[in-house]
């Protein structure tokens, strides 16, 4: 039976094919790519960091809210103390777009994560052309050779990589590429179920020296404090901030400031 993740990747591949230009033309655009802003450095430090996400919809929740000006929302995130801005670019299930990403990048000065299902070499190079400082690689959606190749390629292009895992087996696979940032997603992308126990199990297992990110299902200050006790260095939050009437206050509340 096809999982939700399989269905998403199928659509992503169709969309990549639709918008693709010849690879030599894409690579030629790298010379004009914007300077990188250092995502790893932005997520390093003793205090809890937040990756704040511009997210229009999700497969599990549907539309999260009308975002008429994604750049304005991202600017509020930056003013509120976000360390990194994440922008969804997957079109079908999350209603994101490359346009959203480029508009936000022009508005903010902090590093940006391209949040998508990266399953082709084309998307890795495209991400650098777009100005992504941080690239998401979801272990569950990639073969081991794809994962290692894309991780190396992203690093060679200067980007940092957020490696997303959901279980112990994926953590073992993730570590083969010597990642600097690993995210534990409590939402199973194959079923869309959320299990916060994933944080309890996996965050303490990530080796020291790696930036640890807790993803999905975080909406309360107590939850942030809990993952911090488990070793998390950062949280990735989208839905809670998009639905907050005041995202600046919401960030302050989550970070306990």
Let me know if 223 is a catalytic residue: no
Q: Is 3 a catalytic residue?
A: no
CA angle (208, 210, 216) in 5-degree steps? 115
The active-site residue out of 78, 126, 164, 223 is 164
HEC sequence for the chain: CCCHHHHHHHHHHHHHHHHCCCHHHHHHHHHHCCCCCCHHHHCCCCCCEEEEEECCEECCCEECCCCCCHHHHHHHHHHHCCCEEEEECCCCCCCCCHHHHHHHHHHCCCCEEEECCCCCHHHHHHHHHHCCCEEEEEHHHCCHHHHHHHHHHHHHCCCEEEEEECCHHHHHHHHCCCCCEEEEECECCCCCCECCHHHHHHHHHCCCCCEEEEECCCCCHHHHHHHHHCCCCEEEECHHHHHCCCHHHHHHHHHCC
Q: Based on the residue annotation, tell me whether 10 is a catalytic residue of this protein.
A: no
Whether 7 is catalytic: no
Considering the candidates 49, 52, 55, 127, report the single residue annotated as catalytic.
55
- Considering only CA atoms, which of 151, 156, 103, 152 is closest in space to residue 131? 103
Catalytic site includes residue 164: yes
Catalytically annotated residue among 53, 78, 126, 170: 53
Q: Which of 78, 90, 170, 215 is catalytic?
A: 215
* Active-site pick, 52, 115, 127, 170: 115
The yes-or-no answer on residue 66 being catalytic is no
Active-site residue (options: 49, 212, 216, 223):
216
Residue 2: strand pairing partners: none
Specify the residue for token string 């790893």.
40
- Known catalytic residue at 90: no
Spot the catalytic one: 58, 83, 86, 185: 185
Place of tokens 């404090």: 225
Catalytic residues: 53, 55, 115, 164, 185, 215-216
């Amino acid at each position: 039976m096809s999982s939700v993740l399989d269905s998403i990747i199928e659509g992503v591949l169709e969309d990549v094919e639709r918008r693709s230009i010849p690879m030599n033309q894409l690579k030629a655009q790298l010379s004009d790519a914007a300077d990188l802003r250092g995502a790893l450095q932005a997520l390093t430090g003793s205090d809890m960091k937040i990756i704040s996400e511009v997210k229009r919809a999700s497969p599990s929740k549907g539309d999260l809210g009308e975002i008429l000006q994604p750049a304005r929302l991202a600017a509020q995130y930056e003013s509120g103390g976000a360390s990194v801005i994440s922008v969804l670019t997957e079109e079908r299930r999350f209603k994101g777009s490359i346009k959203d990403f480029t508009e936000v990048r022009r508005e903010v000065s902090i590093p940006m994560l391209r949040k998508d299902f990266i399953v082709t070499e084309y998307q890795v190079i495209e991400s650098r052309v777009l100005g992504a400082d941080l690239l998401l690689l979801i272990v569950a959606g990639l073969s081991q050779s794809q994962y290692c190749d894309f991780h190396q390629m992203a690093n060679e292009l200067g980007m940092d990589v957020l490696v997303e895992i959901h279980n112990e087996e994926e953590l073992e696979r993730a570590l083969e590429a010597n990642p600097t940032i690993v995210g534990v997603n409590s939402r199973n992308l194959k079923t869309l179920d959320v299990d916060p126990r994933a944080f309890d199990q996996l965050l303490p297992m990530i080796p020291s020296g790696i930036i640890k990110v807790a993803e999905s299902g975080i909406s309360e200050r107590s939850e942030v404090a809990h993952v911090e006790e488990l070793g998390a260095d950062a949280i990735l939050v989208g839905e809670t901030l998009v639905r907050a009437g005041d995202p600046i206050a919401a960030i302050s509340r989550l970070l306990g400031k």
